[in-house]
Amino acid sequence: MGNFQFDWQAMISSIPHLLEGIPYTLLISGVGLVFGFVLGIVFGLLSINPIRLLRWPAIAYIEVFRGTPVLVQVLFIFYGLPEVLGGPIDALTAGIAAIALNSGAYISEIVRGGVQSIDKGQREAGLSLGLSRLDTFRYVIWPQALRRMIPPLGNQAIVSIKDTSLFAVIGVGELVRQGQIYIATTFNALEVYLMVAILYLVITLTLSAILRGLERSGLVGQ
């Protein structure tokens, strides 16, 4: 232990190899979040629907995917579902599906909270102007709710980006997996994993800075 020397050159040399994993990290999180946003809108609105037959399945979906680890979810999709479907699911598809289903559950709660945060007087005002219930929602409630949802949606995006690191267990060539491959040939685990952490930090801090800029500009929030 006393003879250990940190190898800065090994850390720097790992960068080109690790950068190969960033497109996969961004692809999985980006595509997964797009599908997750669609799921979030659908199930978020269903969760506040007065019809129980529609509301309870939505609540069940939200609770199941918020209450179980994303690692278990991706393992179930990658190893479990093929037994039901009768064919394999490739790792990239499994990763995107896990992010979509997991983020969709959290986004559902963001959507529910955003819609319910709009004062009921806004809805009454829209109806009094002769708008239908649907048009009142589309043109009065939803635009205001969406502005309030953007900060928590950004936070969810950051969480989902970090969650992709778990998909190394199914062989997805994202950032952590590229680090594991490089370590297997160089044995510089400390230096490589430190570089992996730095690259994740760069990605998440960049996204956080964009969100703060939007908030300061007044484009999102209240």
Q: How far are the Cα atoms of 98, 122, 171 from residue 199, in angstroms, in the given order?
A: 22, 44, 19
pLDDT, residue 202, reads 95
pLDDT, tens digit only, all 222 positions of the chain: 557 788 889 899 999 999 999 999 999 999 999 999 999 999 999 999 989 999 999 999 999 999 999 999 999 999 999 999 888 999 999 999 999 999 999 999 999 999 999 988 888 888 788 888 888 888 889 999 998 999 999 999 999 999 999 999 998 888 999 999 999 998 889 999 999 999 999 999 999 998 888 877 766 655
CB 200 within 8 Å of CB 178 = no
Domains in the chain: ranges and CATH: 23-172 (1.10.3720.10)
CA 32 – CA 166 distance, rounded (Å):
14
First-last CA distance in the chain: 54
Which amino acid does the sequence have at 86? G
> Token match 């994202």: residue?
174
CA gap 137, 176 in Å, rounded: 43
Q: Which region holds residue 25: left if phi is over 0, alpha if psi is between -120 and 50, else beta?
A: alpha
Give the tokens for residue 165: 């690191």
Given a contact cutoff of 8 angstroms between Cβ atoms, the answer to whether 23 and 95 are in contact is no
Residue 117, both tokens: 């945060």
Which amino acid would we find at residue 37?
Answer: F
Q: Cα 121–123–126 angle (5° rounding)?
A: 110
Three-state DSSP class for residue 27: helix
Backbone torsions φ then ψ of 218, nearest 5 degrees = 80, 10
Query: What phi, psi does 190 have (nearest 5°)?
Result: -60, -50
